[in-house]
Amino acid sequence: MVFVLVLGVAAVGFAYVRTSDPGWWVRLWYPLKYGSIVRGHAHNYRLDPALLAAVIYQESKFRSNALSDSGAVGLMQLLPDTAKGIAVHTGGTRFRVADLYDPEINVRYGAWYLRHLLDKYGDEKTALAAYNAGQQNVDQWRRAGRGIAFSETRHYVKRVEHLKTLYRRGYGKELGAPPL
């Protein structure tokens, strides 16, 4: 009987922690690697550092060697053709796909791209949809007067928004304030 009571209290405590996601819980389950790189490029590209961390977590779980079935590479899962275009826009002259495994380069390119999407679409949710589904798809949906057509992309946007809240809660001081 005592064991069952203790087990019940533990389950209630776990459920409370899980639903309230205190900072220590977030830190336990959602790591922040490459914090100085995230902060630096968030600052350079006027991004909320918690948003940048959330995109990285969703894309690669902070694994710099991540490679998707579609060929997206690194922390921010950039497609080589997209990254090559970003390299040209940011002054690069000798792009190599292997560069995308370098956390500093990958986050710099990904942060530039996310800023580009935010500037183009004017809102975070649409920019995130374009990051996931591509600008061509988002432009098509907008021309047709529709919302996000892909359920996977709708889930992606909601997940990144939730992760942004978690990263702000767990690493707020470490990440710094979002830009004005």
Active site residues: 59
In angstroms, the Cα distances linking 175 to 21, 31, 101, 149, 167 are 18, 12, 23, 33, 8
Element (H, E) at 30: none
Query: Is the Cβ–Cβ distance between 109 and 78 less than 8 Å?
Result: yes
Distance CA 105, CA 151 (A): 31
